[in-house]
Chains A and B, each alone.
Chain A
Amino acid sequence: MIEVEGLTKDYGPRRAINNLTFQAEPGEILGFLGPNGAGKTTTMRILSGYMPPTMGVARVAGFDVVDESLEVRKRVGYLPETVPLYPDMTVFDYLKYMADLRHIKNAEERVEDVLEIVHMDERANGYISNLSKGMRQRIGLAQALLHEPEVLILDEPTIGLDPAQIREVRKMIREIGRQRTVLLSTHILSEAQQICDRVLIINKGEIVVEDTPERLQAGLTGVQRVSVRVQGDGDGLEKLISEISGVGRVSTSHEGSVEVECAPGKDIRPIIARNLIKAGFDLLELKSIDLSLEDIFIQLTREEPEPPSTDDSEEEI
Chain B
Amino acid sequence: MRNVWIIARREYKQFFISPVAYVVAFFFIILLGYFFYSGLVDAIAYSTYYQTSYVPGPEIVTGQWMVILLVFSMPALTMRSIAEETRMGTMELLLTAPVKDWELIVGKWLGAFLFMLSLLAITFVFPIVLNSLVNPGIDQGVLFSGYLGLVLMVASLVAIGIFISSLFNNQVVVFFISLAAVLILWFVLRPLGTSTSSSGNQIITYMNFVNHYINFFQGTIDLSDIVYYLSLTSIALFLGTVSIELRRWR
A39 at the interface (CB under 8 A from B): no
- When the two chains form their complex, are residues B90 and A84 in contact, meaning their CB atoms are under 8 A apart? yes
Residues of chain B within 8 A (CB-CB) of A8 are: none
B6 at the interface (CB under 8 A from A): yes
A22 at the interface (CB under 8 A from B): no
Most buried by A among B89, B91, B97, B249: B97
- Count A interface residues, CB 8 Å: 27
- When the two chains form their complex, are residues A97 and B248 in contact, meaning their CB atoms are under 8 A apart? no
* Cα distance, A49 to B100, chains bound together (Å): 12
- When the two chains form their complex, are residues B249 and A52 in contact, meaning their CB atoms are under 8 A apart? yes
A122 to chain B, nearest CB (A): 23
* Cα distance, A80 to B97, chains bound together (Å): 12
- When the two chains form their complex, are residues B96 and A73 in contact, meaning their CB atoms are under 8 A apart? yes
- When the two chains form their complex, are residues A98 and B93 in contact, meaning their CB atoms are under 8 A apart? yes
Q: Given the interface contacts A70-B100, A74-B98, A101-B98, does A50 sit within 8 Å of B88 by beta carbon?
A: no
Residues of chain B within 8 A (CB-CB) of A86 are: 88, 90
Tier of interface size on chain B? 20 to 34
Q: Select which of A11, A45, A74, A80 is within 8 A of B93 by beta carbon.
A: A80
- When the two chains form their complex, are residues A143 and B96 in contact, meaning their CB atoms are under 8 A apart? no
Please, which residue of chain B has its CB at the minimum distance from the CB of A77? B96
Chain B 84-121 interface residues, beta-carbon cutoff 8 Å to A: 88-100
A51 at the interface (CB under 8 A from B): yes
B190 to chain A, nearest CB (A): 41
A48 at the interface (CB under 8 A from B): yes
Q: Select which of A51, A78, A82 is within 8 A of B89 by beta carbon.
A: A82
Residues of chain B within 8 A (CB-CB) of A76 are: 96
A167 at the interface (CB under 8 A from B): no
Residues of chain A within 8 A (CB-CB) of B7 are: 101
* Residue interface bits A90-101, CB-to-B below 8 A is 1, else 0: 000000011011
* Cα distance, A70 to B96, chains bound together (Å): 8
Please, which residue of chain A has its CB at the minimum distance from the CB of B18? A88
- When the two chains form their complex, are residues B98 and A84 in contact, meaning their CB atoms are under 8 A apart? no
- When the two chains form their complex, are residues B17 and A50 in contact, meaning their CB atoms are under 8 A apart? no
* Cα distance, A106 to B91, chains bound together (Å): 25
A276 at the interface (CB under 8 A from B): no
- When the two chains form their complex, are residues A80 and B17 in contact, meaning their CB atoms are under 8 A apart? no
Residues of chain A within 8 A (CB-CB) of B91 are: 84
* Cα distance, A160 to B77, chains bound together (Å): 34
- When the two chains form their complex, are residues A84 and B92 in contact, meaning their CB atoms are under 8 A apart? yes
* Cα distance, A86 to B88, chains bound together (Å): 8
Residues of chain B within 8 A (CB-CB) of A101 are: 3, 6-7, 94, 97-99
A135 at the interface (CB under 8 A from B): no
Chain A 160-187 interface residues, beta-carbon cutoff 8 Å to B: none
Please, which residue of chain B has its CB at the minimum distance from the CB of A97? B10
**Pairs A–B under 8 Å by Cβ, sample size 9:** A51-B250, A52-B248, A80-B96, A82-B92, A87-B88, A88-B17, A100-B6, A101-B99, A103-B98
Which residues of B come within 8 Å of A, CB atoms?
A: 2-3, 6-7, 10, 14, 17-18, 88-100, 248-250
